[in-house]
């Protein structure tokens, strides 16, 4: 009786294993659509701060290179750079890509939004001291919506499109100036709204901009890396554990008032080049931003499980590892940065491996 039961148990387990193997069959990658924006040249009338140029060097190249990769991967891409990359145009492009998706696959499609350019966060002044114009600080000090709920990060982040004025004391002198900047910026919540207009069920957001980690919404997972990474790896702390339990208890019940904003876990996978309270750098070596430089390598380098597919998670992990191991050797303290990814149980195929 005994051995027979044991044999039955082993056979049952083996049957389950074989059943699971039937799912490991050749994969069909769904159609892909993308909106790719890169802004190097900003607001034409932008006066620099004491010789400091507000323009960037590589974001337009980043966008062009990323669009080329996506086209090579079979994506239908809308590419805008510099003066074409405005907030008005972005809204039109989301409507256009939505129509294309609807006509070519509907929900069973992948969508990628990529942005390279300036990124800012409301109220960053409280983190970095008085580096922002008084009008900017006082506006967000008085806005109850400036700070986000616990678990959503501290601030509302903005991606600055071409027509956004520089956030400096020369350009931003009044509340009207602040509002003008915001009109030409894409906030985390606005991006969430735009993504919600698209029928694609597999949405990915890739942002190569300062403070872009703030676009990740609160959800079910706590990040054990602090929003301002300074190079140390603390592992899992008691506070991290409590954060994870708090998010679990709050999810669906709202009992602990963790709140929800930004791009939600079940809305899109967000890969950001930096944490919410980190800056990024342009290096002259690669001809691209550092994060995008490594992201462009992922079809050839990031297929960790050799299944012929590079998921968003694998692409993120490759870029992160390269930046931590190679690039952060050249930065110190708060100068270090590390890419982030949003939580959630599902991951999407970003590229086919080369």
- Pick 110 or 118: Cβ nearer another protein: 110
**Shortest approach of another protein to residue 92 CB, angstroms?**
27
Of the chain, the end-to-end C-alpha distance in Å amounts to 54
Report d(CA 47, CA 2) in Å as an integer: 84
Report d(CA 279, CA 293) in Å as an integer: 17
Binder of another protein out of 68, 281, 317, 331 (CB under 8 A): 317
- Is 85 a binder of another protein (CB under 8 A)? no
Contact characters 211-250, another protein, x per CB under 8 A: --------xxxxxxx----------x---xx-xxx-xx--
- Span from 48-56, 123-131, 280-288, 346-354 in contact with another protein (CB under 8 A): 346-354
Contact characters 146-185, another protein, x per CB under 8 A: ----------------------------------------
- Is 80 a binder of another protein (CB under 8 A)? no
Binder of another protein out of 93, 177, 265, 327 (CB under 8 A): 265
- Is 113 a binder of another protein (CB under 8 A)? no
Report d(CA 287, CA 272) in Å as an integer: 19
CA-to-CA separations, 149 to 211, 238, 271, in angstroms, rounded: 17, 21, 21
- Is 291 a binder of another protein (CB under 8 A)? no
**Shortest approach of another protein to residue 171 CB, angstroms?**
37
**Shortest approach of another protein to residue 312 CB, angstroms?**
9
Report d(CA 188, CA 206) in Å as an integer: 13
146 is written with which tokens? 């400036």
Q: Say which residue the tokens 């208890």 belong to.
A: 249
Binder of another protein out of 51, 252, 284, 333 (CB under 8 A): 252
Positive or negative torsion for Cα 118, 121, 125, 128? negative
Q: Is 119 helix (H, G, I), strand (E, B) or coil?
A: strand
**Shortest approach of another protein to residue 244 CB, angstroms?**
4
- Span from 26-34, 85-93, 121-129, 131-139 in contact with another protein (CB under 8 A): 26-34
Binder of another protein out of 98, 231, 259, 343 (CB under 8 A): 343
Q: Say which residue the tokens 């490594």 belong to.
A: 294
**Shortest approach of another protein to residue 289 CB, angstroms?**
22
User: Quick one: which of 304, 334, 336 has its CA closest to 317?
Assistant: 304
- 149-162: burial string, b at 16+ Cβ within 10 Å, e else: eebbbbbbbbbbbb
**Shortest approach of another protein to residue 307 CB, angstroms?**
6
- Is 207 a binder of another protein (CB under 8 A)? no
β-bridge partners, 111: 33, 203
- Pick 169 or 201: Cβ nearer another protein: 201
- Is 299 a binder of another protein (CB under 8 A)? no
Binder of another protein out of 71, 170, 199, 251 (CB under 8 A): 251
Binder of another protein out of 60, 148, 157, 314 (CB under 8 A): 314
Neighbour count for residue 19 (Cβ, 10 Å): 9
Q: Is 15 exposed, middle or buried (0-12, 13-18, 19+ CB in 10 A)?
A: exposed
57 is written with which tokens? 């060097």
Q: Is 282 exposed, middle or buried (0-12, 13-18, 19+ CB in 10 A)?
A: middle
Q: Say which residue the tokens 């601030």 belong to.
A: 155
Q: Which residues bind another protein (CB under 8 A)?
A: 1-2, 5-6, 9-10, 12-13, 16-17, 19-20, 23-25, 27-30, 108, 110, 201-202, 219-225, 236, 240-241, 243-245, 247-248, 251-252, 265-266, 304-305, 307, 309, 311, 313-314, 316-317, 341, 343-349
């Amino acid at each position: 009786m005994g051995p027979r039961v044991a044999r039955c148990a082993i056979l049952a387990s083996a049957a389950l294993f074989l059943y699971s193997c039937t799912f490991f069959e050749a994969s069909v990658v769904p159609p892909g659509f993308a909106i790719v924006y890169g802004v190097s040249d900003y607001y034409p009338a932008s006066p620099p701060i004491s010789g400091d140029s507000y323009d960037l060097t590589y974001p337009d190249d980043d966008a062009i290179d990323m669009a080329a990769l996506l086209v090579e991967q079979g994506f239908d891409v809308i590419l805008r750079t510099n003066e074409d990359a405005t907030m008005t145009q972005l809204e039109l492009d989301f409507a256009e890509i939505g129509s294309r998706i609807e006509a070519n696959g509907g929900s069973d499609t992948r969508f990628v939004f990529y942005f390279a350019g300036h990124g800012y966060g409301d109220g960053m002044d409280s983190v970095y001291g008085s580096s922002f114009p008084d009008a900017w600080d006082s506006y967000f000090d008085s806005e109850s919506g400036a700070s986000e709920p616990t678990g959503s990060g501290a601030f509302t982040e903005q991606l600055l499109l071409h027509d956004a004025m520089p956030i400096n004391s020369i350009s931003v002198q009044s509340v009207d100036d602040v509002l003008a900047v915001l009109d030409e910026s894409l906030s985390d919540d606005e991006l969430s709204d735009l993504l919600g207009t698209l029928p694609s069920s597999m949405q990915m957001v890739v942002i190569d901009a300062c403070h872009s980690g703030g676009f990740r919404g609160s959800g079910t997972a706590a990040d054990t890396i602090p929003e301002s990474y300074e190079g140390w790896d603390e592992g899992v702390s008691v506070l991290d554990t409590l954060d994870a339990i708090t998010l679990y208890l709050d999810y669906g019940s709202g009992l602990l008032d963790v709140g929800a904003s930004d791009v939600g876990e079940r809305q899109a996978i967000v890969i950001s080049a930096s944490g919410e309270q980190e800056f990024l750098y342009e290096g002259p070596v690669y001809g691209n931003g550092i994060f995008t430089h490594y992201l462009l390598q992922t079809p050839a380098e990031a297929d960790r499980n050799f299944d012929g597919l590079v998921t968003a998670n694998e692409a993120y992990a490759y870029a992160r590892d390269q930046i931590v191991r190679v690039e952060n050797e050249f930065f110190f303290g708060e100068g270090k940065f590390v890419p982030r990814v949003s939580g959630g149980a599902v991951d999407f195929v970003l590229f086919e491996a080369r």
